[in-house]
Amino acid sequence: MTNKAENKELGFGTKTSTQKKRLINKNGSFNINRIEISRWSSLSVYHALVKMSWRKFNFFVFLYFVIINLFFASLYYLTGTEGLKGIEATTESDKFLEAFFFSTQTFSTVGFGRISPFGHISSTIAAIESIVGLLGFALATGLLYGRFSRPIARILFSKNAIIAPFKEGKAFQFRLANKIRNSQITDMSCSVTLAKFENEKGTLIRRFIPLDLEIKNIIFFPMTWTVNHIIDENSPLFGMTENELKDAEVEFMISLNGFDDTFSQTVTSRHSFTHEELVYGAKWISVFSQNENGQTSQDLNKISEFEKVSF
């Protein structure tokens, strides 16, 4: 997947041109409302189960385990607990509980055998439950693998983007780094699109303009990358003052992709900086230092640090 921003439309169309809110949320999702045709057909269960938090996922697994065992316990109970040899309970509630525990032992295929199905009905239910359990567990295996192996480019972005002095003029800059230390990303590419409001015959229109980057492709990504757009006469930011940037409610939309060389998968990331996250007149504080052995060291805690400068 190549990312040649220059030949491509952004995909936000012209109808969003009057939306005053940011278009890309901080977590990379799109800030666009949708009215679905159907609540269910628009939901991919697998995507949902793979993307939800571990806490939520574990809760759903546990809930499923309890519900399915309540269901089978009811079947055993209703078809008669005399079908479960070894039950020693005397009260009805205890009998149901024993049926429930027997069900968990069947579903998980532990099968201790103190209680065992006896007779055709309970044996049939137990056979069905064990196959349901096996398939449910097969699903869980697939989901856990899907959750774990899902490629995420955990990119660390600077909190702000800045307008920095650059050579004779100015530049738009932000910094990013690979958050994960034990996995390399190679062949990184970055594209930045500017969204700004323009007054066209009295109407506010949001325009999307790709920004040229000094470097938009790097082979290796072991270092903090300062993405740099030079504000020259070809730049849509050329000549804009701090107030004009605020008035135009600029939003810088960022699309990243690279290649995770552990899993040989393309990983992508989205981000945006709004005018509120833009610092006009600043320069970055270096993340690098060099120790006595002549080895360079980078401190990721400093990735968002800058100092104010005036033009």
28-67 binders of its own copies (CB under 8 A) = 29-37, 41-44, 46-48, 50-51, 61-62, 65
116 or 232, CB closer to its own copies? 116
CA angle 286, 290, 295 (to 5 degrees): 125
* Residue 124 found at the interface with its own copies (CB under 8 A): yes
Q: Is 249 near its own copies (CB under 8 A)?
A: no
- The smaller minimum CB distance to its own copies, of residues 53 and 310, is found at 53
Tokens at 173, concatenated: 């800059």
Shorter beta-carbon distance to its own copies: residue 143 or 245: 143
Q: Which residues contact 8 (CB under 8 A, 6 or more apart)?
A: none
- Please check whether residue 76 is in contact with residue 125, taking contact to mean a CB–CB distance below 8 angstroms: yes
Helix axes 54-78, 92-107, angle to 10 degrees: 120
The Cα angle at residue 288 between residues 285 and 293, in degrees rounded to 5: 150
Residue linked to tokens 């003029």:
169
Per-residue interface string for the shown chain with its own copies, residues 177-216, x marking contact by CB under 8 A: --xxxxxx-xxx--x-x---------------------x-
- 3 lines the binding site for its own copies (CB under 8 A): yes
**Residues in contact with its own copies, total (CB under 8 A)?**
128
- Toward its own copies, which CB reaches closer, 78 or 223? 223
Q: Does 104 bind its own copies (CB under 8 A)?
A: yes
Q: Does 25 bind its own copies (CB under 8 A)?
A: no
Position 246 contacts its own copies (CB under 8 A): no
CA distances from 98 to 74, 102, 211, 280 (A): 11, 6, 68, 70
